[in-house]
Each structure stands twice: as structure tokens, then as C-alpha cells.
Amino acid sequence: MRRGGTVVSAAMRESDKEIQGYRLLDRPSGAELQSLSDLAAGMFGVPFAAINILTSTHEYQIATTGFAGAVLPRQESMCATLPPDAGAVVVADASADPRFADRGVIRSGPGVRFYASAPLLTPTGVPLGWLCVFDVEPGEATEKQRELLTFAAARVTDVLELRLRSVQLEDSLLELTQVRDELARSNEALWHFASQVSHDLRNPLMGVRANAELLAGEPAILADPELSDIVGHITESARGMSRMIQEVLAHAKEGGARPRRDWVDLGEVTDRALLDLSPFIRETEAKVRVDDLPRVPGDGELLYSVFSNVLTNSLKFTRDGVTPEVQVTATQQGSVWRICVMDNGIGVPAGQERSIFLPYVRARNSADAPARAGYGIGLATVHRIITAHEGRVGMEPRQEGGTTVWFELPARMPEENAAAS
């Protein structure tokens, strides 16, 4: 490929790409590069030095000592005649060297005579240009000066690498700022959505609660202990749902901030969830066994939602002709409690144990099979709440059939964990 009278090789194209990535041609050289150019001139005791970036078409003098930098056609560049793997090059009199004799900087004015340069190579070995020193008088250089020029060229590359990382960091910070702003907008939209849903749910719920409270005072209800218990349960469930709506609304408003931390009796939380699910349990004739459960620091209403969702799934996704069996256990593992909810249901297809906790994901037995009933938000809610409690949640198949859903919760208050460490 020919560009402006110059045959462009694959190596040149690679250099152009690197130079563009380093953004060397659209930013000021900066004090660091200027200092290295001045240092190179001082090391050789010559009046001129330059940091030259060499593209496939031009030489860009991005930092100079003793003269004003310029942009030269590549064919006028002394550096362009040198292979990047040549290392440091020292020429006592460039006018007598056939590699440089036809260059304009040799023929014009007093002309360049003494010339020394070292390549600027990226960490992967791609050439970017040269660090050059020169004089209008012939001269010599010691081996030590040659080594120092190579060292200085490496420091130029270090500065360019640092500038590249700084630019990348700025870009990352800008991207993170944009993500943060978008997240803030999403949280605001979530809060408005939660507010609307809460408002739409409150009105019918208030009607249920008000009618249940009125019904509880009727003589016929008061005279029948069983009916009185049923109406009392309806009233308590309505109150609990009202509290849950308030908690969800507060959680959405805070954008998923950390939940309230009180000591919560998980046994009582489980009893509440099972009481609300009692019609379902009676309908399926499920056998539910709950072992002793601990007290943990957390938000009781949010943890109620966890148990309600997990237990509902265990009682919903059952096998035909098999009586549902559910067991809830707790074991302490170091500084956390692991709660397991085990069932003998249809289970979750292999490979979907993690994705099932994502929003709007429902299990499928095959790629073309219909998704199971539901909206795919129950386990996503569980994951969000447990994560907000600084815990973990997961799912495992059982060898005898069914599923174990487990989640871990801290056994101590955050300040107790800090004191223990």
C-alpha cells in the first residue's frame, strides 16, 4: 500500500494504530516530555534534541530543545531511515553517511552533522518514534552516553504509557459517572413505579382490612371460635401486607440501600409465612417440618418476603401424585447461619440454578419448552434481599428429587463483626 509517496508496511500500520491509541498527536507534550528532551541534550552537551513520533506519513516533533518543533514529511525524517531494532545509533557526521546525505536537514543551513537517537518502543515492542540529539558540528559519544540515551528513551515511553493509563482512567471515570447517573434515574423510576403500585394495592387492601375488622365484631362471628380465628387471620394478613408494601416502597426509594437491622426470630418469621400459606398447605396436603431457627440481625418484613417466596415455590412446583414435603433447617457455619428449604418437587433443570435468581427468568425444561407459571420476580426478590443483608443465596438439586434453596445470613450485628476482627 502506497500513501503520499511512501510504501506503507504492516509494521507502519501497526505503529499508526498504537500512536492513535496513545493519543500522542492531539495533546500537549507536557512538562515531563520536555524535561526528558532537555535532559538528553544535556547528557551529550549538544544544543538540540527532539522527541519524534513517526507515523507512516509524517514525523511529529512533540517535544524539542533548542528549536521550535514542526511536522515533517516522513521522507525528510532522519529517524525514518533507521530500523526500530537498531537500538541506539550514533553518527559522528551525518553528511558523510549515505543513509542521511539526501535529507533536507543535512543540506540546508549549517545542516545536522552529529546525530544520535534511540527508539521509543511500547511494552509490546511496537515502535512509536525516536529520541534524538544532534549538533551542527561533528562529534563523538561514549558508550556510557549511548546507554544513557537508551535509558532516557525508555523513560519517554514510560511517560507515554502513564499518560495513556491516565486517559483510560479518565474515560473509565466518565463511563462510571454516566452509569451512576443512569442508575440514579433508574432508581427514581423504580421509586415512582413502586409508589404507583403501592397506591393501587393500598385501596383494595384497606377495603379488605376494614371489612374484616367489621366482620370480626359481628355476633355470629364472635360466637364461633373457628370463624373468629379465620377472620382474625384475614385481618392480620391484611396488616402484614400493608407493612410489606411500606417496606418495599421504602426499599425502592432508597435505591436498594442496606435494610434495617434488628434482631429477628426466623422461627416467628417462618410461622407467619406458613400461616399465610395455610390454605395452600391444606389444599395440597403438604407436610411441612421446621427445625429450630435462630435469631439473626436483619429486616423482619424483608426476611418474611424471602421465606414467603421460597416456601411458595416449594409448595407450588410439585410432582403429580406425590405429596409435597418441605423441610426448613438451619446450621451455623462460622459467622453466618445457613438456612435450607428442601422440597421433593419437580426441581430446576440442570444449568439454570443460577439464572433462576435473575429478574423475569423462569425455569424451562428445554429451550423450546414453555416457561413455568409466574412472573420470574420471586427468587429475584429473594436474591436482592439476601444480598442487601450481606448474605448469599443459591439452589442445588437433591439426589432423591426436588430442590434445596439455601441462603446465608450474618450471625452477628455489623459492629460485632468489626469488634471480632
Return averaged pLDDT per consecutive 10 residues of the chain, 421 residues in all.
Answer: 54 82 77 91 94 91 91 88 86 90 78 92 89 94 93 92 84 84 72 64 69 81 83 76 63 58 94 86 90 94 90 88 94 94 87 71 48 58 89 90 93 68 51
Is residue 61 within 8 Å of 69, Cβ to Cβ?
Answer: yes
Which residues make Cβ contacts (< 8 Å) with residue 156, sequence separation at least 6?
Answer: 33, 36, 51, 120, 131
Where in the chain are all domains bearing CATH 3.30.450.40? 2-171
Residue type, 184: A
C-beta neighbour count of 12 within 10 angstroms:
20
Of 391, 362, 364, 367, give the one whose Cα is nearest residue 379: 362
pLDDT of residue 370: 39
C-beta neighbour count of 328 within 10 angstroms:
23
Q: Which fold has domain 2-171?
A: Beta-Lactamase (3.30.450)
Where in the chain are all domains bearing CATH 3.30.565.10? 259-420
Q: Kindly compute the dihedral angle of the four CA atoms of residues 316, 317, 319, 322, in this order, to the nearest 10 degrees.
A: -40
Helix or strand holding residue 59 (H, E): strand 58-65
pLDDT of residue 400: 83
Give the percent of the chain with pLDDT over 90: 34
State whether residue 79 is helix, strand or coil: helix
**Would you say domain 259-420 falls under CATH 3.40.50.720?**
no
Q: Report pLDDT digits (tens) over 35-89.
A: 999 999 999 999 999 999 999 889 999 999 999 988 989 888 888 888 878 789 9
Interstrand relation of 262-265 and 295-298 (parallel, antiparallel or unpaired) = antiparallel
- d(CA 360, CA 366) in angstroms, rounded, equals 17
- Grid coordinates belonging to 247: 417496606
DSSP class of 153 = H
Alpha helix stretches (DSSP H) within 255-339: 266-276, 278-284, 300-316
DSSP codes of every residue in 233-245: HHHHHHHHHHHHH
- d(CA 29, CA 120) in angstroms, rounded, equals 15
Q: Report pLDDT digits (tens) over 396-416.
A: 988 888 999 999 999 988 766
